[in-house]
Homo-oligomer: A and B are copies of this chain.
Amino acid sequence: MLRRLLHHARRRRRYSSAASSSAAGVVPLSTPTFAVFGANTGVGKTLVSAGLSAALLSSPTTSAVDYLKPLQTGYPVDSDARFVFTRAPALLRANPSSPRATRLVASCRTLFPSPAVGADPAHSESQEAVVRCGEEGAEETKVLACRTVYAWREPVSPHLAAEREGMAVTDKEVRDSVGQWLLEGVVEQGEVWKLLETAGGVASPGPSGTLQCDLYRPFRLPAILVGDGRLGGISSTLSAYETLLLRGYDVGAVILEDRALSNDKFLLSYLGKRVCVLVLPQIPQDPSDDLTDWFSESSLAFGLLRNALQSFHSKRIQRLSSMQRKSKELLWWPFTQHDLVPVESVTVIDSRCGENFSAYKIKESTMMLVPQFDACASWWTQGPDSSLQIELARDMGYAAARYGHVMFPENVHEPALRCAELLLGGVGKGWASRVYYSDNGSTAIEIALKMAFRKFCDDHGIQMDNAKSIRNIQLKVLALNGSYHGDTLGAMEAQAPSAYTSFLQQPWYSGRGLFLDPPTVYVKNDTCNLSLPKLMNPDELSSGDSCLSSLAEVFCNTRDTSSAADVYLSYISQKLSEFSLSNNSEHIAALIIEPGKKSASDLLGCLPDIACYAKLMTGGIVPLAATLATEEIFDSFKSDSKLTALLHGHSYTAHAMGCCAAVKAIQWYQDPSINSNLDFEHMRLKELWDGALVQQLSSLPNVERVVSIGTVCVIELKAQGSDAGYASLYARSLIEQLRKDDDIYVRPLGNVIYLMCGPCTARDSCTRQLSKLHRRLCGFN
């Protein structure tokens, strides 16, 4: 009978295919799951795990508690799983508030003891027990499963133990084991709770050296922080709490031992509004004490902890499950026809970890959080991998605490100055000498326009104090057809008429430019192609336009899309720079990663006068833009009157947080010791999209053409009439499949599908997404 029960308890169902394929990060929400973190070592995390497990099992609604200790050192002398396995049932038996007859099926297992432990296999845990408690009567069966995943003998930090005992474990292995544990469901009816106990303090290293708080971050389990009741414990508890916040964790409760210093009272008054604080009686120091009395005194506190966590969990689920509806009611999304977005297709984003969103989904009628690859790079802003994200979070906290926002005109602060130095020494090297900050690409362009106009007037002797002469001057810009410089009116005036500039959208638009048709480079049927605008005579290429001729040469001879793309970009830049205006905000990645070596201007052999940078510049954190200009442009605003100064500025101009993020991000992307996508020799981005796959995609019958360059891979689907163009919904079903079944977050753009990644995204990851897309396209009508 016992054997059958245990077998039953162990028979666990894995959630199927799609979810488990990206296991690291999938978190089922039907199972309340918490991570137990310690403010310090020796604060009694395992006592809390045991006490809480018992309190949970004593609740009529809970059918099972699953306890996991991924990393155990000091084993087998110390085994937190064994402690919970032995103590929780004892406490449950002693608990006066659990009167119902219960048959508790408990197990304790260790999966991977280190060789040093393995030499003494008798100590490796694999225990089972059935415990009865409560009143007489019809028994209810409950399950307590306690597991250790990796165990080392030495009672030191896992990174040291692993080093000394020779069982190295990668972060992926640890995360995979947690991911599997999360996906296991017990067959029994009723509520299953899961507790993951971390090792040491919140920032103690795991076996690879990754900190506890970072190691488990992809799951972002709500935390129970076991605080420190000792002298100095207020400080270590608050600091640990802040470390968890700096990793984006939510803390469900703080619980700590009473050591007669009233640490709990202080923490309650300090943290009270933010998180529930509970206190446990002092833990007996005598090692022979079996803690029965202590547990009995603590049962009230553990009951309160259970209730606090229960309420935390319910509120979380409630909120998550209401967000689709509420967002449809209250928000107004940009570029979105709301009626075309069914409420169930709204993506509820719970968090981001590097390149992945964690999205709330219902799969196989189970609520869960599922990681989705952010394949539109959140509108070209997605730069950070998970390491950079942590760095940026720390920097953002620091910048807010050091500066908040401080105003800029006639002032200087370190982040603004440092960011300017980096921009001028990087993308601006050799030509730019001034940085004008603003908030986004649109405003950066409007500033650039104002600069260009002034310089033009200055150069052409236009007398600006002569109202009559001015009235007849109509200034226009030269720009590309199909280009897009932003949504504010000034930026729009510099783009050709399009869906975005219609009377419907912007009745004040007139289109004050001459708009060129650009040549286009693409792959079709495994062949690279150069498509020239109708009005451009190919015969004149070799003599007339050196850029286009080299474009044709590079592209058609070498099929080197990357070099061709460089030349292509250069062509655009040259055309634009002839008009003293260049919006590089969308190409920031390409430019930044080639510091001073192979920038567009180096390729062209001609330098811009003004250029705009935004988007990825802050590493995908906050809005900030910079308009760089030459000293000649700057000089055209000089006089002894304030009226000739450039009178444009926003309240948050050069805000410290944006500048601080930009400083970190620019340095990060450029550092080959951090960014493995950098080709160190040429200091440029490696090709991230697998060439063979790109060719295969280009040969599909439903694909019109493919363009892959830098962090972008664009696939234009064959479409006719209303199926083509921006307003088309042609690719919608494909988009939905990719989002729903492949966990790739793509955005529709008419009959075009594009994948984007960040400059630090691993090539493997790009290949994985591209393969999924290829598979789907093979099956697309």
Contact = CB atoms under 8 A, between A and B. Distances in A.
A662 interface: no
Given A239-B239, A339-B638, A503-B464, A349 B397 contact: no
A92 to B, nearest CB: 30
A318 interface: no
Contact of A506 (B347, B450, B620): B450
A349 B403 CA distance: 9
Contact of A407 (B379, B410, B433): B379
Given A323-B414, A332-B434, A341-B410, 7 more contacts: A38-B235, A201-B239, A209-B269, A238-B243, A331-B417, A334-B650, A378-B407
Contacts of A514: none
Contacts of A640: 337, 339-340
A10 interface: no
A202 B235 CA distance: 6
Contact of A246 (B231, B401, B652, B654): B401
B337 A747 contact: no
A507 B409 contact: no
Contacts of A376: 407
A615 interface: yes
Interface in A331-383: 331-341, 345-352, 357, 374, 376, 378-382
A402 B382 CA distance: 14
A156 to B, nearest CB: 6
A466 to B, nearest CB: 10
18 contacts: A157-B234, A160-B261, A211-B238, A245-B401, A246-B398, A323-B412, A323-B417, A331-B412, A331-B416, A331-B420, A332-B434, A333-B410, A337-B640, A396-B657, A439-B623, A442-B488, A475-B507, A623-B651
B401 A389 contact: yes
B450 A232 contact: no
Interface string A471-495: 0010100000000001111110100
Pairs of residues from A and B, 8 with the lowest C-beta to C-beta distance, nearest first: A334-B649, A201-B235, A397-B397, A41-B232, A248-B402, A489-B490, A248-B401, A327-B412
Contact of A405 (B399, B420, B508, B621): B621
A397 B40 CA distance: 22
B614 A651 contact: yes
Contacts of A643: 499, 502, 504, 726-727
A234 B243 CA distance: 13
A125 B512 CA distance: 80
A70 interface: no
Nearest to A269: B209
A396 B396 contact: yes
B622 A406 contact: no
A205 B220 contact: no
B398 A245 contact: yes
Contacts of A410: 333, 336, 341, 345-347
A172 to B, nearest CB: 20
Contacts of A634: 332, 338
A450 B489 CA distance: 10
A257 interface: no
A582 interface: no
A436 interface: yes
Contacts of A203: 234-236, 238-239, 242
Interface in A625-639: 629, 634, 637-639
Contact of A239 (B236, B331, B380, B486): B236
Given A442-B650, A490-B490, A512-B508, A248 B403 contact: yes
Contacts of A202: 235, 239
A412 B650 contact: no
Nearest to A389: B404
A392 B442 CA distance: 28
A424 B654 CA distance: 30
A11 interface: no
A692 interface: no
A408 interface: yes
A262 interface: yes
Contacts of A645: 335-338
Interface in A295-331: 319, 323-324, 326-327, 329-331
Contacts of A473: 503, 507
A378 B406 contact: yes
A42 interface: yes
A160 B262 contact: yes
A583 interface: no
A577 interface: no
Contacts of A407: 374, 376, 378-379, 381, 747
Nearest to A722: B641
A352 B235 contact: no
A525 interface: no
Contacts of A201: 232, 234-236, 239
A702 to B, nearest CB: 22
A384 interface: yes
A324 B200 CA distance: 47
Contact of A404 (B324, B384, B436, B653): B384
A400 interface: yes
Contacts of A380: 651
A524 to B, nearest CB: 27
Given A414-B319, A470-B503, A330 B424 contact: yes
Nearest to A334: B649
A330 B652 contact: no
A622 B655 contact: yes
A291 B248 CA distance: 44
A446 interface: yes
A579 interface: no
A254 interface: no
A653 B334 contact: yes
Nearest to A586: B651
A168 to B, nearest CB: 16
Contacts of A400: 248, 389, 392-393, 396-397, 621
A409 B335 contact: yes
A122 interface: no
A435 B330 CA distance: 6
Interface string A172-215: 00000000000000000000000000001111110001011000
B398 A331 contact: no
B404 A349 contact: no
B727 A642 contact: yes
Contacts of A381: 405, 407, 651-652
Contacts of A409: 333-336, 747
Given A205-B266, A376-B407, A620-B404, A436 B232 contact: no
A93 interface: no
Contacts of A421: 326, 330
Contact of A487 (B240, B242, B648): B648
B641 A727 contact: yes
A247 interface: yes
B504 A644 contact: yes
Contacts of A234: 157, 200-201, 203-205
